[in-house]
Amino acid sequence: MTPPHFAFSATFILALTGLVFHRTHLLSALLCLEGMMLSLFVALSLWALQLDITSFLASPLLLLAFSACEASTGLALLAATARTHGSDRLQSLNLLQC
Amino acid sequence: MMTYISCFFLGGFILSMVAVACNPSPFYGSFGLVAVAGFGCAVVVGSGGTFLALILVMIYVGAMLVVFVYSAALAADRYPESWGSGGVAGQAMGYLLGVMVASGFFWKEEYGVLWGFGGSVEELAPQRGDIGGVSWMYSLGGPLLVISAGALLLTLFVVFEVTRLLHRGAFR
């Protein structure tokens, strides 16, 4: 694959791995989710720019708008967690003790 | 020369994401995400999308990451972990190793790095490159914009309900 294709694919998989293996903070997982959306933005932009399909250049903007929605929902969950459990550390989310 | 610059920005993109994926603390993760956005902006500029890169920097770094940094300040440790603590350095080495192994399989040199000006035309048209593409969103994609605005309004109400701001305000 071409280097830019490899770059955003590797970035997406790295951010996905960081999301899966986050250790202490919930906010670290949200940051990795934002990294995934950023790599998708770069992927859509490069796809539309390098193939000269100008009508697909609106899709990165819409992706960015919905990524902002997702980030705000994630941060609202973080704020709710920090309110009830005191912090966003994952050790305190132990209601379902298994 | 341009190939070297493009490869530098692509490499920086991947390495900053390694730093985000194994961040010891959200402060360092946010800083790494700023670096990823900067390198990604440079990659998109190198392919001719100057307007999209500007949008990325302004909206992503200027608005969303500022909110993330405020949230990190809200839910912060008094003594945040640094890069040397825990197994963070080992994780970073593992991710770098994985990237290098994958690039050994997938990064083929004969393709080179494409760079250019998006939508190059012979004469100077009123709409060139990515600005012409984005303006389609307003002309033919008008209904899509209305639906997206409805989705954003819905997200606002979702945030209100998750944090119970409408019922009880900021009191606990």
Q: What is the reported pLDDT for B111?
A: 58
> Got the DSSP string for A18-84?
HHHT--SBHHHHHHHHHHHHHHHHHHHHHHHHHTT-GGGGGHHHHHHHHHHHHHHHHHHHHHHHHHH
Q: B172 pLDDT band (50/70/90 cuts)? A: low
Q: In this complex, which of A3, A54, A79 lies closest to B163 when CB atoms are compared?
A: A79
Q: Tell me how crowded residue B27 is: count the other CB atoms within 10 A of its CB.
A: 18
CB-based contact A10 B71, cutoff 8 Å: no
Better-predicted residue by pLDDT, A22 or B150: B150
Contact list in B for residue A31 (CB cut-off 8 A) is 20, 23, 26, 29-30, 33, 68
- Quick one: closest CA in A to B171, which residue? A83
Place of tokens 């990237």: B99
Q: How far apart, in whole angstroms, are the C-alpha atoms of residue B133 and residue B51?
A: 10
Helix axes B26-46, B65-74, angle to 10 degrees: 170
Please give the structure tokens belonging to residue A62: 């819409």
CA–CA min distance B12, chain A (Å): 10
pLDDT tens for each residue of chain A, 98 residues long: 788 888 999 999 999 999 998 878 888 899 999 999 999 999 999 998 888 888 888 899 999 999 999 999 999 988 888 888 877 788 887 777 66
Q: B110 pLDDT band (50/70/90 cuts)? A: low
| Domain ranges across chain B | 1-101
CB-based contact B26 A28, cutoff 8 Å: yes
CA–CA min distance A32, chain B (Å): 6
Q: What is the CATH number of the domain that holds A86?
A: 1.10.287.3510
Q: Which domain holds residue A69?
A: 3-94
Q: Which of A98, A13, A43 is nearest to B49 (CA)?
A: A43
Please give the structure tokens belonging to residue B148: 């997206």
A32, A45, A87, best to mutate vs chain B, most B CBs in 10 Å:
A45
Number of domains forming the structure of chain A: 1
CB-based contact A15 B63, cutoff 8 Å: no
Q: What phi and psi values does residue A89 have, to the nearest 5 degrees?
A: -70, 145
CA–CA min distance B124, chain A (Å): 16
Q: What is the reported pLDDT for A42?
A: 94
Give yes or no for residue B80 having a pLDDT over 80: no
Q: What is the reported pLDDT for A91?
A: 80
